A and B are shown apart, each in its own frame.
Chain A
């Protein structure tokens, strides 16, 4: 099985970081992975996105035209990619930044006020991407919760244990969130 995940939002929201975390988690689970970032001027504040393909077999193209899973962290990203999501796919929306609902009726949509949750807790600042990852992991099962700590250890600097703790808290909040 091949799952294509598109994470999209503003530069600075941790889009690429979330993709890296997810890629490492899939690697730990012995899956094939391809991670492709947007590397243009959008990295400096415009829209940024990151494509992660996870598969049981070698991956053909790492370029995603029709994702199985979309994580939308701002309105332009939802507007741009909503129609591209495969029928039966998933859309995860940061509802504190996107006021509208998903228009499609043939996809599963989940709404989390991830940015609002983070703004209430100093230690969770900037963790909205990870909260959404938590929800995504629970609803799609593309990777499991149990390997998240090992995956974070690969992408969080060893000398920043506090960040690791914050990320683990954020992923749990997203995982347990009922919308």
Chain B
């Protein structure tokens, strides 16, 4: 299955019965797949008149406590930003997929990771976070989508799948054995009172500053819990590593090959692959800074995750950037060259 189709099927298996979207390359297979599958299982597929309409439909369904999603690619995600902020303000669970392409503006249609800042920092106005999951294979398009719905419900917030054109378009063998869906109580959902309870109100408007301050503080207490409990990463050949490559998504696949090649040439290098970009696996990076002499951040952006690495390791070690942008993917050679540079800079053997 293509990554995009596998993601869509995983969403259905996670209990999602509402999909709202608008076509854009390279994520349109998600919408196409949903248009075929949803009617057969009593779900709703709706091609909205715009990305903005789609995200607002998501807000509507999320208010009722049902699992709901939308998907787009970079320019379309920008349009959804207002809705992402409202979802946060209303404390609503939802899944949003960004199958990234090169930007800014309309940019290109080839893969990119340049929406890292958008996803981890500035998804919209106001103080808020999203859980950001970064799949590096078709299998993870499946497992992280399933996980994303679960985390969204658990913490009443948006989970974003930050994929890219490559993992969306590629095919790999995939297992859809995902386990049981956890049902969360949603006493806040607007499902009709049946005259038996008080009205539930879902709203992001709060004109009392004291009250709004309290809401923000309560939300960030939840975020602190997420940072403590939900960071995920893969550690690869880090045991005796002098150098640490950090890469996520499709870039990490090339980086893994580069690590193997460098190891074969006697360079003690390992890799940390953040699976969650928010919460960022800070502790793993900080621990790596104890034993490694330098870091290499491999990114398909002009250098965005590199700031999180520097923050996590408190600038104790140099962090070198290996970056390709505009739809280009770093080659193994690019990464090996930066590893070599890091070896010299950090004084590793």
Residues of A within 8 A of B (CB): 20, 23, 27, 32-37, 39-40, 59-63, 65
A32 to B26, CA, bound (A): 24
Question: Any chain A CB within 8 A of the CB of B267?
Answer: no
User: Which segment, of B117-125, B188-196, B227-235, B249-257, faces chain A?
Assistant: B249-257
Q: Does the CB pair A35–B254 fall under 8 Å?
A: no
9 nearest A-B pairs in the assembled complex, by CB-CB distance: A35-B171, A60-B257, A61-B253, A61-B254, A36-B170, A60-B256, A39-B169, A61-B257, A34-B172
Chain B residues, Cβ within 8 Å of A33: 171-173
Q: Does the CB pair B253–A62 fall under 8 Å?
A: yes
Residues of B within 8 A of A (CB): 25-26, 109-110, 165-166, 169-173, 250, 253-254, 256-257, 260, 329, 331-333
Chain A residues, Cβ within 8 Å of B171: 20, 23, 33-36
Q: Which of A35, A37, A40, A63 contacts B172 (CB 8 A)?
A: A35
Most buried by B among A32, A40, A63: A63
21 residue pairs bridging A and B, Cβ less than 8 Å apart? A20-B171, A23-B171, A33-B171, A33-B173, A34-B172, A35-B171, A36-B169, A36-B171, A37-B169, A37-B170, A39-B169, A40-B109, A40-B110, A60-B256, A60-B260, A62-B166, A62-B253, A63-B166, A63-B329, A65-B331, A65-B333
A60 to B251, CA, bound (A): 10
Chain B residues, Cβ within 8 Å of A62: 166, 170, 172, 253
Q: Does the CB pair B257–A35 fall under 8 Å?
A: no
A49 to B250, CA, bound (A): 19
Besides A33-B172, A60-B256, A60-B260, 6 new A-B residue pairs in contact (Cβ under 8 A), listed by A number? A33-B173, A35-B170, A40-B110, A61-B250, A65-B331, A65-B332
Question: Inter-chain contact count A-B, CB under 8 Å?
Answer: 50
A74 to B250, CA, bound (A): 29
A44 to B219, CA, bound (A): 48
Most buried by A among B166, B171, B260, B329: B171
Chain B residues, Cβ within 8 Å of A37: 169-170
CB distance from A169 to the nearest CB of B (A): 26
A35 to B170, CA, bound (A): 6
Chain B residues, Cβ within 8 Å of A23: 171
Chain B residues, Cβ within 8 Å of A34: 170-172
Q: Does the CB pair B257–A32 fall under 8 Å?
A: no
Q: Does the CB pair A39–B254 fall under 8 Å?
A: no
Chain A residues, Cβ within 8 Å of B253: 60-63
A33 to B137, CA, bound (A): 12
A34 to B256, CA, bound (A): 16
Q: Does the CB pair A61–B332 fall under 8 Å?
A: yes
Given A61-B254, A63-B166, A63-B254, A39 contacting B173 (CB threshold 8 A): no
CB distance from B177 to the nearest CB of A (A): 17
Chain A residues, Cβ within 8 Å of B166: 36, 62-63
Chain A residues, Cβ within 8 Å of B332: 61, 65
Chain A residues, Cβ within 8 Å of B257: 60-61
Chain B residues, Cβ within 8 Å of A59: 172
CB distance from A108 to the nearest CB of B (A): 24
Chain B residues, Cβ within 8 Å of A65: 331-333
The residue of chain A having its C-beta at the shortest distance from the C-beta of B108 within the complex is A40
Given A33-B172, A60-B260, A39 contacting B165 (CB threshold 8 A): yes
The residue of chain B having its C-beta at the shortest distance from the C-beta of A63 within the complex is B329
A27 to B173, CA, bound (A): 8
A65 to B331, CA, bound (A): 7
Chain A residues, Cβ within 8 Å of B173: 27, 32-33
A36 to B25, CA, bound (A): 15
A19 to B109, CA, bound (A): 22
The residue of chain A having its C-beta at the shortest distance from the C-beta of B327 within the complex is A40
A40 to B169, CA, bound (A): 11
CB distance from A104 to the nearest CB of B (A): 20
Q: Does the CB pair B172–A61 fall under 8 Å?
A: no
CB distance from B123 to the nearest CB of A (A): 26
The residue of chain A having its C-beta at the shortest distance from the C-beta of B167 within the complex is A62
CB distance from A103 to the nearest CB of B (A): 23
A27 to B172, CA, bound (A): 10
Q: Does the CB pair B172–A39 fall under 8 Å?
A: no
CB distance from B185 to the nearest CB of A (A): 39
Chain B residues, Cβ within 8 Å of A63: 166, 250, 253-254, 329
The residue of chain B having its C-beta at the shortest distance from the C-beta of A51 within the complex is B170
CB distance from B69 to the nearest CB of A (A): 22
A36 to B329, CA, bound (A): 13
Most buried by B among A32, A40, A61: A61
CB distance from A73 to the nearest CB of B (A): 20
